Amino acid sequence: MPEIIADVQHLSASYGSAQVLDDISFQILEGQNWAIIGPMGSGKTTLAKALTGRLFRKGTAVFFKASKSTHHVYWIEQQHRFKNRSNVNDFYLQQRFNSQDSADAYTILEELADENPEEMAKWLEVFHLDSLVQKPLIQLSNGENKRLQLVKALLRHPDWLILDNPFLGLDVSGREILNRCLNHLASLGIHFILISSAMELPDSISHVMVLEGGKSVWKGYISEYRNRQSNKFSRSQEDWKEKLKGLIASKESFPAFEWAIQMKNVQVKYGDKVILSDFNWEVKHQDKYLIYGPNGAGKSTMLSLISADNPQAYAQNLVLFDRRRGTGESIWDIKKRIGYVSPELHVYFRASGSVREVVSSGLFDIMGLGKRMSVDQSGRVDSWLEIMGLSHLSERNFQQISTGEQRLVLLTRALVKNPPLLILDEPCQGLDEEQVRHVKNVLDYMASHDAFTLLYVSHYEHDVPTCVTLRKSMI
């Protein structure tokens, strides 16, 4: 019989008075690798923290390694904030696109300066980072950041890896690379537990455990899991559609425009690194585009010019809402017309108020909290929370809910004012299947009842709503 290599018994954990893990037990045998899946807020990331001793827990979690008296368990978290040369991690979103601020950030090569050069070079090549070693960490794309975390983990020679949604933000090529690498690690005897979406289960996963409400509700072979039929999405469509219809009818009016975006011969570079060269694009009012391309292709940089987060916009031939940039408009004149969400925004969003306060900040285009709402604005926030299934989290602290729930809150923040331009960069990243379906339904309903422009970024075709009919390649 295969040897037990991980034994978890009666694991429970709480945040304050709220119990988030309830009596979880399982055993992993030699040769097995497990995936932990479940809806948002089910306790997946909390379980990862509990397994690695990063929060107080009841019960036991013991990892074994047949050839060693000790073991090395390495956790790769879903988000990572790098420190700058001053040894603090207080970067803010706009600094990603400012060359002077980038000088305060370490490069990939500097971040790995203490590592074995040969081993470092090997893993950098495997994860396609070898050509980016001089790139400042603050300028890494979401996918590049995740791949660097994997390289750093592997340089620690772990016996166990616990990975929290490692596929998030990776393009098709990156997902294939990661899948192959996990297969290779499994062949080397490195075991792992994967916190994941049900849609991202790599070949090397042998078993699945499903969490719901902090409890283990099912566990077994992956083949058995894939044979299970589940369709639990039950939110009443008629209820949220009526609320959304009312929000569209009562939204703030904005000046009319013909062209949302006109870019002509746009050039963006940092030092000798060219990000965009002779880039041209025109987007009309009510156009709805999917923007696609590999990690590092310049998607986020291009969007930062539109969202008024990149100072290089002033030197470009760039028209937003029929007005040339740099002709007297403020960044707040632009941001007022835009709803924006991205993985990078999530990383740099530090506000620690309630979920309701975070959503309300979208009405005022601020990253912080504290502005007083009118009665109408307050009602709009509450309606959007209900439409997106977040009412039960309204008074919870934003920093204490799950990562997936945080992402949905920030998406709701982008939608709350029903702006004329929505920039949704990987909006479904980290959401469960039910929420992805609902987000697509909401956007499609909005498209059929409201006049707005949509820029939608995704590496997954199944995340794209039907209303998106145009394509912009960044390859």
Q: Which two tokens mark 325?
A: 């940039």
- Whether residues 80 and 147 share a domain: the answer is yes
Same domain, residue pair 202 and 266: no
Angle at 441 between CA 217 and CA 348, to 5 degrees: 75
The reply to whether 209 and 110 lie within a common domain is yes
Contacts of 83 (CB under 8 A, 6+ apart): 89, 106
Q: Does one domain contain both 55 and 119? A: yes
87: left (phi over 0), alpha (psi -120 to 50) or beta: left
If asked whether residues 225 and 248 sit together in one domain, one would say no
Residue 38 falls in which region: left (phi positive, over 0), alpha (psi -120 to 50) or beta: left
Residue with tokens 């920093």, as numbered in its chain = 399
* 94 and 205 assigned to the same domain: yes
Total count of domains within the chain: 2
Which residue is it, tokens 């297969």? 183
- Are residues 181 and 328 both part of a single domain? no
My answer on whether 225 and 94 are in the same domain is yes
- Do 219 and 264 belong to one domain? no
| 134 and 197 housed in the same domain | yes
Instruction: Judge if 278 and 367 occupy the same domain.
Output: yes
Predicted TM-score (pTM) of this structure: 0.80
Domain coverage including residue 187? 4-230
**CATH number for 457:** 3.40.50.300
| One pLDDT digit (tens) per residue for the chain, 475 residues | 788 989 999 999 988 778 899 999 999 999 999 999 998 889 999 999 999 888 889 999 988 764 554 457 888 887 666 666 655 555 555 555 554 555 668 899 999 988 999 999 998 998 889 999 998 888 787 678 878 888 998 898 888 899 998 888 788 887 888 888 888 888 888 899 999 888 788 889 999 999 999 999 999 999 888 876 443 444 455 689 999 999 999 888 889 999 999 999 999 998 888 999 999 999 999 999 999 998 888 999 999 999 999 999 999 999 999 999 988 889 999 999 999 999 889 988 888 899 999 999 999 988 777 678 999 999 999 999 999 999 999 999 999 888 889 999 999 999 999 999 999 999 999 888 889 999 999 999 999 999 999 999 999 999 999 999 999 999 8
